[in-house]
Structure formats: C-alpha cells, structure tokens
Chains A and B, each alone.
Chain A
C-alpha cells in the first residue's frame, strides 16, 4: 500500500511537472458503509469545491468495514471514515483509533448527532431508522393483517412469515435488538424476542436483505430499515412501510478521522465538508433525518410519522453491551432453530 501510494505520488508529481495547470493531488482512503449507488454522487459533490482531493472509496457492509478497521488497528490504512454506524465508531473510539477533531461549523448540527467529547471523536451525518416492510400482495394471498406494533409481530398468524437480519452480522439487526431492550426493558425485551423468534423464517446476514425479500414476495414481512423500503417501493414493489407504534430503533451514519493519518490536512477538509449544509442536503436524498436542523425535506415513500417514532437511543449502552447482547442472542436463537 505504501509503495502504491509512493508510486501514485510519483505519478502525480510527474503529471504536475508535465502540465503546469495540474492540481497538486492528494489521495484520501475513505472507508464507508454507504450504499454503493450513493458513493459516486458524494465524491462528485465534494470535488466540486475540492478538486485537488481524490477520494479512494473502500466500501463494504457495516460489519465488514468495522472488522477491517479493527484488524488494521496497529497500522490503519484508512485516512477518513465517512458513513459508518455510530455504534461502530464508538467501538473504534474505545480502541483509541479516532482522531478527535471539531470540524468547522459543527456547532450548527443537532447536538444529538455529535460525540459528547470535546473535541468530538465523530460527527453524525444522518439517521437510519428501523421499520417493517410489508408486502401487501402476498399478505392478501396469505390472509395476513398488517401489523401496527412490534408486539403484533409475535401474533400466531405471522408464523414463518417474518424475516429479520442477524444482529451479530448486521448493524440494522443490532439496532433492532438494542432498541427492543431499551423499549421493553431487559427482561421483557428478551421475552418479546423469544416470542418473535417463533415467527421468524430465518435471520439474514445483511440488513437490507429482509426488505428486498419482502419486496420480491419471498417472505411477506421483513424487519429492515425505512430507507431500503422506500427504495424498493420506488422500484415498484407492492410494499407498505410500517412504523411500529412502540417506537423504532435507529443508528446514525457518522464521520471521523482515523488517528495516525498522514493526510491530516486533507482529512480535515473532507470532514469539514461532511458537516456543511450542502452535504446534509446531499444526505437528504436517501435519508429523511439528517444532522443539520432545518435541511431535511420529506423523502418520497418515507412514512410520515417516522421521526416522532425514533426512540431516545443510548449509543453508549449499545456499544458497551454489544458483546454481551450478542452472545446472549446467539445462545438463544442461533442454530437452535434448524428447520426440520
């Protein structure tokens, strides 16, 4: 990688020598879990104001990117993290891997979206919110009523018709589980999941899969997130996006500088950009809830009551109890449910 960077640097220098109009290029390695189709747009918007900084995206699912960052703890490859779950960033922070930095204009953001430390270790971008994707066509065939609450999903009529992500591998799955533990309390939360488990067809690896499977009618009810549901609905899937009445869990996508980056100046420029109004308007295309107050416009197909339903999420609780929650979850539900 370093040799590669050196080669790139030499190449860039040569290019600069050859054409005097060329910019001094800086390359930033940016780790992200943002959906692939949004990345090019994000980079293009950033380059409008900063043409001299090239973003090299490293994109994968939340779990994989987190694993990658943790594995590279002693020799980080990333310069910046742009668009990773706050719970993951808290894990990285607790490993001392994030460089605290207060981006210019951070004070304008909703304080809920900014790390409590001063200077903050990470800054939020937008919230992604749990919801239930409900396939109306298949439900009618099977004679299922639309559920209105989480508790409804434990009803016997939904046996085998609900699918959700495995919290051990999916950030969405984990925010569901941690939100249920916060909504219902520890004991009732596990009791709820025991009952829900009876109705679950299977647990998927990824957080968007349940909604896509609901969209294709494979399983009529998918516990997923609202953003995914809205997209599938826009693609023409017969979906209804349901916001359970007890409230919904959420996590935010956030940005941070990786401690030890060699490109501190460019990294700070990028993070400065990520908190601007302009950037937040960009996030708003897919996310109904963004960090910059007053920016968000309604997103097509997004359920209206979603923002009010977001629970008071205790990220520290979620991050610090993650290991314990997951091991409890695995011992209860993983592998015990072999289909016979």
Chain B
C-alpha cells in the first residue's frame, strides 16, 4: 500500500532529525493515506462546490455575427456582432446578460424593424468555437454561417457562455424568495433549540437527579428517535394535525404545514442528541457542593441556579449548538411538512433537483455552511474551556427521594415518552390502514413497495447493505486514523492537520456534502469518476458525513490508554501494528462497537448526503420514504420509515448481545 509513500518520505527526511524507524514510516505512511482519503472525500469536493458557486453564465453578444439581406433576400450587409447592434440600440442592459445555465436570449429585439412576414433573410454564425445558439431547439455550435428567412430567424435563441464572478451571490441576495430562507432557517433552528434543550434538560434531570421510577424505560424511549429518519415525525404530524388529522382541533385552525410542523418534528428528532449530552453533564457532579449549599442554607431554587446549572453549563451549550446544527441542516423534515415555508436545506434541493440550477444550489450551500460552521466553532471553543468537574476528592451525588418532586418529574417524563411513542405509533397505524381516512380497515397493501415510486423492497435491502458496509469499513478507517493521530510520535504538523480534517465533517451539512460530491466525482476527468452512481460513493459519503463523532469516540477511548504501551512494545522491539492488533483493538472494543452501531444506524436513516448521490440501482430505504411522500403515497412512506425503525432496533439489540459476548472475552482483564 505504502511503498511509494515510504520511498517519498525517506527521500524527504531531513538529515538533522533522528532516523525514522520502520514503524514510524509505516505509521506516517498510513496517516498520509487516511489524510489523503479525507482530502479526496471532503476537501476537494468542497473546493469544487465553492468554485461552482462562482461559475456564472453570461450572454456574450460579441460572440455572434449577423448579416441582413435587402428586400430581395439575396444581397447581404456587412457582418455585425450583437454587441455592435446593442451599443447603438441599448435593448438589453448589463443585468439582462446574466443568466442561468439554461438561459436563452431572443434575437429579434436587436432589429427594430423586424417582421416575420418580411422577405428579408438573415445569416448568423458564432465567431468562436465556444459560441452556441439555437434555431428552434436545434443547437448550432460551429462557426459556419446559417442562412434563415425572417420567420425562422425569430426562433433563434442565443445561449449563455460560462464565466466567473460574484453574480450568483448578487442574484441570490437580490431575490427575496431565496434570501428569506436564511431568516426562516435561523428562526426555526433557534426556537427548536430552545424548546429541545429545555425539555431534554428536565428529562435528563429526572433521570439523573431524582428517584423517579422506570428510569430504564424512559432512557430507552428517549433514544428511539435516533433510530428513524428525521422525516418520519413529519409524516406522523400530517396524520395527527393535517386537514384530515386525528387531533387537528388542537391547533385551533393553524396549519401544521410550516414552521409549527418543522419545530415539533425537530424537537422529536433532536431530542435524543440533546438528552445524551445533557445527561452526561448531569451524571457527573460533586455531592460536596450540594452539602455546602445546604449548610449555607441555600434554598433548593438557589442551589439549582448556583450549583446544578453551572455544573451542566458546558453540556447545555454543547447540546444547544448540536441541536441548532441538526435543525438548520436538516432536509427531510421541512421537505415533508414545511409547506410553503422555505428553508435553506430544501432550497438546495429545489434548485438542484427541481430547476437543475446547480450554480444556485452551490450558492445556497455556501450560505448554509456559514451558520453551521459558526455554531461548530463556538461549540469547540466552549468545549476547550471545560475543566474537570470531578477531582480525586469528589463524592458522587446520589439523589434522595422527594415524593413531590419525583412524581412531578415522572409526570413530565411520561409526557415526553407519550410524545415519542405516540409519533412512532401513529406512523405504524397509518402504515397499516387501508385508505386513510375513508377506509380504516387494516391491510398490508402499503407494504407493497414494488408498486410505488421509490425503489421498492430493493431499496430496503440496499439500505441494509449500505449500513453494514459503512459500519465495517467506516469503523476500520476511522479507528485506525484516530489511533495514528493519538499514538504516533513526532510529525506534529501532520497530526494537527489530520485532526482538523477529522473535525471538519461535523460542520458540513449533508446536503452540501452530497452536492459537492456531484461536482467533484461526476466529472469524467476525475480518476475516481468510476465510483459515481455506485454503492461505493454512498459508503464513502456516509463514512465522511459521520466521521467526526466516530473519530471523537475513538480518540476518547484511546486517550484512556497509557502511551507507555507504545514505549514498552518499542523496547521489546515489537512492531506497532502488532501492538495495535493484539492490545489496542481488544482493549478499545467497547468504543469500536459503539462506533460501528452509530455508523450503522445513521447509514440507515440518513437522507441529506445521499439524496443527490443514489442511482436507481442503489436507491435507499430512507430515500424511498422521501420519494413516496413526495409522490403523495404517504402511508407507504410511513410503512417504509417504520421498517427502518425495526431494522435499527434489531441492530441495536444484536449489538447489545454481541457486545456482551465480545466484551466478556476481551474485557475480562478489567475485573480481577
């Protein structure tokens, strides 16, 4: 694999440095390979997208020449360009010359006395090979003269040529229909964040700081939304609050299609993410602080604000930014229930799929990356400020029973559980009903996916294949990459750059990643062109999309291992890779299993990154949900969504059993 790299590194080594051992060379070579992987699957595509956003189309009036005949139709005038004609007539302004890739400009406006009945004939040609014009719908891209009568000449349309500039961005911010989405997206994300973090905080509080009953059940329920695509709550909301909804009276005439629907659905699908982070923050606390507060006669309220909240603040901030990022970059939910309420992620889809305007799609992507990156940077910054809450002398906090509080929190948690289970239950019910709302008898008709537009059962099997491949390949690549970053010696710059690359995917919305893959990989001159339209590109995009969280899990696990293992193995003259396979991997097994199930579940549910990349042969279950909903087949969409849910649940259970077995073998050393 790395023979060439080894040679190259060997030649580049400066004489001053200590001699690199064979191990170092292998480690650096491997790091280069994985670094190269991230470069190709992320940095280059993003660059291709950025460059696309500056690619504009202009009508070049000087690229065409015309001749006009006299009334006899045979004697022609000297050739003139449209630019010459326009300089005297001024029929089109500079702004009119900007166009999309499918722009067209009629030519008769340059001839004030044009009449399609006149006997005058016209000749037109391109002055260069790049020029293009249409007669009717026939393309002319040669420099030969084309002679046309008046009646045909009116059907001539000029085509724009490619150039570069900021015009796309100018057009974007000059079109309120487009730029309003920025405001909409930020508003939706902010409100959803506030609600989710508030709910998740109290839910996590109930689970960590009270003596409420059925904690295990609540924890299980809270994690359920992670197992379904984000658009599934949208479908459930249609059944609950749509015009034929079971509970539509509860909305008092407001429409679920729009911000209300997006916010409710967003709270559903982001809840587990916020809950996990806040729960971790709340699970660590020092009982001595609470004792001090009691001794100082602090009221429970005061204790809450001066001890509990400050202790959880990093978790709260982190949860807020994660939720904000998830909501603003989510595409499935607003697509299903957004109605006429435009948001950025859906705009990208509309521009690219609906209007084939790839340039504008790239512009919206650039706009969408900005808030995502800001949220991401602030979060990383805040996290870096975090200091250890738990010192060696800390005493873990143990909640004491408090009937009133416990039951209040139980009631609150039950409401959340009803909300989550209810959404899933409604979807399952809808999937089984024959023809909502006119025929409520049960049938399995909605599971006949092969009769619907969306890829049929094949797409479901494709999804499982994608999820398995992503889990296996992704875990291998990501864990090994994390190992190299954590455990190799020297090569500081290389490691820092690698670490930066590994953090970047978190800030890149899935839609943007998918679109950038089109620009980069769907290009015959790209040596990786062959993966376009295959399962491989779906695996690559999914691994890259979910790289960061897996990478962080792996590094955290690896940091817990003393670097002395490496020193010992080096002094015993054992190759690092042997150490890696014999010690590091078995010891880190829990983390490795966590990464693989994380990748599996996300590969099953992801829509945004793959929606631009699937081909009919590699259609996916999550895409099928989207497309069936799109075509109005809402019940089958719910049915497929629930198939994803059951598959992920099964995978989770399998993961649990497998982990138990594997952990018993590999982790026996942990207990004496």
Chain A interface (Cβ < 8 Å from any Cβ of B): 1-4, 35-37, 56-61, 63-64, 66-67, 70-72, 74-75, 77, 90-91, 93-96, 116-117, 137, 166, 168-170, 201-206, 208-213, 215-219, 235-238, 316, 319-324, 326-327, 330-331, 334-339
Contacts A202-B340, A212-B631 hold; do A316 and B136 have CB atoms under 8 A apart? yes
Check: B306 CB closer than 8 A to any chain A CB: no
Report the minimal beta-carbon distance from A139 to chain B, rounded to whole angstroms: 13
Q: Are B631 and A335 in contact (CB under 8 A)?
A: no
| Cα of A217 to Cα of B245 in the assembled complex, Å | 10
Q: Which single member of B103, B138, B335, B533 contacts A1 (CB below 8 Å)?
A: B533
Closest to B342 in A: A335
Q: Are B435 and A237 in contact (CB under 8 A)?
A: yes
Q: Are B340 and A209 in contact (CB under 8 A)?
A: no
Q: Are B177 and A330 in contact (CB under 8 A)?
A: yes
Residues of A within 8 Å of B532, CB to CB, are 1
Chain B interface (Cβ < 8 Å from any Cβ of A): 99-104, 134, 136-139, 141, 155, 157, 159, 175-178, 180-181, 184, 238, 242-244, 255, 257-259, 335, 339-342, 350, 352-356, 358, 435-439, 450-454, 456, 518, 522, 524, 529-530, 532-534, 615-617, 627, 630-634
Q: Are A320 and B157 in contact (CB under 8 A)?
A: yes
| Cα of A97 to Cα of B353 in the assembled complex, Å | 19
Residues of A within 8 Å of B354, CB to CB, are 63, 166, 168-170, 205
Contacts A75-B524, A202-B340, A209-B632 hold; do A59 and B616 have CB atoms under 8 A apart? yes
Q: Are A96 and B104 in contact (CB under 8 A)?
A: no
| Cα of A213 to Cα of B242 in the assembled complex, Å | 11
Q: Are A323 and B100 in contact (CB under 8 A)?
A: yes
Closest to B616 in A: A58
Q: Are A320 and B137 in contact (CB under 8 A)?
A: yes
Q: Which single member of A61, A116, A216 contacts B634 (CB below 8 Å)?
A: A216
| Cα of A95 to Cα of B356 in the assembled complex, Å | 14
Residue from A203, A236, A320 whose CB has the most chain B CB atoms within 10 Å: A320
Residues of A within 8 Å of B175, CB to CB, are 330-331
Residues of A within 8 Å of B341, CB to CB, are 338-339
Residues of A within 8 Å of B356, CB to CB, are 63, 66-67, 70-71
Residues of A within 8 Å of B139, CB to CB, are 93-96
Please list 27 pairs of residues, one from A and one from B, whose beta carbons are closer than 8 Å in the complex, sorted by A's number: A1-B530, A37-B451, A59-B616, A66-B356, A67-B352, A75-B524, A116-B136, A168-B354, A168-B355, A201-B257, A202-B339, A215-B632, A216-B438, A216-B632, A236-B439, A237-B438, A320-B104, A320-B157, A323-B99, A323-B102, A326-B355, A334-B340, A335-B177, A335-B180, A336-B177, A338-B340, A339-B258
Q: Are A67 and B353 in contact (CB under 8 A)?
A: yes
Closest to A60 in B: B616
Residues of A within 8 Å of B137, CB to CB, are 90, 93-94, 316, 319-320
Q: Are B184 and A338 in contact (CB under 8 A)?
A: yes
Closest to B518 in A: A71
Q: Are B102 and A117 in contact (CB under 8 A)?
A: no
| Cα of A242 to Cα of B380 in the assembled complex, Å | 59
Contacts A2-B530, A3-B530, A35-B453 hold; do A331 and B177 have CB atoms under 8 A apart? yes
Report the minimal beta-carbon distance from A13 to chain B, rounded to whole angstroms: 21
Report the minimal beta-carbon distance from B439 to chain A, rounded to whole angstroms: 7
Closest to A72 in B: B522
Q: Are B533 and A71 in contact (CB under 8 A)?
A: no
Residues of B within 8 Å of A57, CB to CB, are 616
Residues of B within 8 Å of A71, CB to CB, are 356, 358, 518, 522
Q: Are B438 and A208 in contact (CB under 8 A)?
A: no
Q: Are A217 and B530 in contact (CB under 8 A)?
A: no
Residues of A within 8 Å of B157, CB to CB, are 320
Q: Are A58 and B615 in contact (CB under 8 A)?
A: yes
Report the minimal beta-carbon distance from B339 to chain A, rounded to whole angstroms: 4
Residues of B within 8 Å of A63, CB to CB, are 353-356
Which 7 pairs between the two chains have the least Cβ-Cβ distance? Answer: A212-B632, A169-B354, A335-B177, A209-B632, A75-B524, A339-B258, A96-B139
Residues of B within 8 Å of A316, CB to CB, are 136-137, 155
Q: Which single member of A36, A117, A331 contacts B138 (CB below 8 Å)?
A: A117
Q: Are A96 and B631 in contact (CB under 8 A)?
A: no
Q: Are A168 and B102 in contact (CB under 8 A)?
A: no
Residue from B340, B437, B534 whose CB has the most chain A CB atoms within 10 Å: B340
Contacts A71-B522, A323-B104 hold; do A236 and B435 have CB atoms under 8 A apart? yes
| Cα of A330 to Cα of B351 in the assembled complex, Å | 11
Residues of B within 8 Å of A70, CB to CB, are 101, 356
Closest to A207 in B: B631
Closest to B448 in A: A37
Residues of B within 8 Å of A235, CB to CB, are 435
Closest to B157 in A: A320
Q: Are B353 and A339 in contact (CB under 8 A)?
A: no
Q: Are A335 and B435 in contact (CB under 8 A)?
A: no
Q: Are B244 and A218 in contact (CB under 8 A)?
A: yes
Q: Are A205 and B632 in contact (CB under 8 A)?
A: no
Q: Which single member of A36, A72, A217 contacts B453 (CB below 8 Å)?
A: A36
Residue from A3, A64, A211 whose CB has the most chain B CB atoms within 10 Å: A64
Contacts A93-B138, A205-B630, A213-B632 hold; do A168 and B352 have CB atoms under 8 A apart? no
Report the minimal beta-carbon distance from B116 to chain A, rounded to whole angstroms: 14
Q: Are B438 and A335 in contact (CB under 8 A)?
A: no
Closest to B101 in A: A70
Contacts A59-B616, A71-B522, A339-B258 hold; do A219 and B243 have CB atoms under 8 A apart? yes
| Cα of A125 to Cα of B137 in the assembled complex, Å | 20
Residue from A2, A56, A93 whose CB has the most chain B CB atoms within 10 Å: A93
Closest to A232 in B: B632
Residues of A within 8 Å of B102, CB to CB, are 91, 322-323
Report the minimal beta-carbon distance from A314 to chain B, rounded to whole angstroms: 11
Report the minimal beta-carbon distance from A102 to chain B, rounded to whole angstroms: 16
Contacts A71-B358, A95-B139 hold; do A335 and B353 have CB atoms under 8 A apart? no
Contacts A93-B138, A319-B137, A338-B340 hold; do A77 and B533 have CB atoms under 8 A apart? yes
| Cα of A117 to Cα of B134 in the assembled complex, Å | 13
| Cα of A316 to Cα of B342 in the assembled complex, Å | 31
Contacts A4-B534, A36-B453, A216-B437 hold; do A64 and B353 have CB atoms under 8 A apart? yes
Closest to A319 in B: B137
Closest to B445 in A: A235
Report the minimal beta-carbon distance from A66 to chain B, rounded to whole angstroms: 6
| Cα of A57 to Cα of B619 in the assembled complex, Å | 12
Residues of A within 8 Å of B358, CB to CB, are 71
Residues of A within 8 Å of B435, CB to CB, are 216, 235-237
Residues of A within 8 Å of B238, CB to CB, are 218
| Cα of A316 to Cα of B134 in the assembled complex, Å | 11
Closest to B626 in A: A205
Closest to A74 in B: B524
Residues of B within 8 Å of A37, CB to CB, are 451-452
Q: Are A203 and B340 in contact (CB under 8 A)?
A: yes
| Cα of A338 to Cα of B342 in the assembled complex, Å | 8
Closest to B341 in A: A338
Closest to A69 in B: B356
| Cα of A3 to Cα of B141 in the assembled complex, Å | 32
| Cα of A334 to Cα of B101 in the assembled complex, Å | 21
Residues of A within 8 Å of B242, CB to CB, are 218
Contacts A91-B102, A323-B99 hold; do A335 and B522 have CB atoms under 8 A apart? no
| Cα of A98 to Cα of B335 in the assembled complex, Å | 33
Report the minimal beta-carbon distance from B48 to chain A, rounded to whole angstroms: 13
Q: Are A335 and B176 in contact (CB under 8 A)?
A: yes
Report the minimal beta-carbon distance from B296 to chain A, rounded to whole angstroms: 50
| Cα of A210 to Cα of B632 in the assembled complex, Å | 7
Residues of A within 8 Å of B617, CB to CB, are 56, 58
Report the minimal beta-carbon distance from A207 to chain B, rounded to whole angstroms: 9
| Cα of A215 to Cα of B242 in the assembled complex, Å | 14
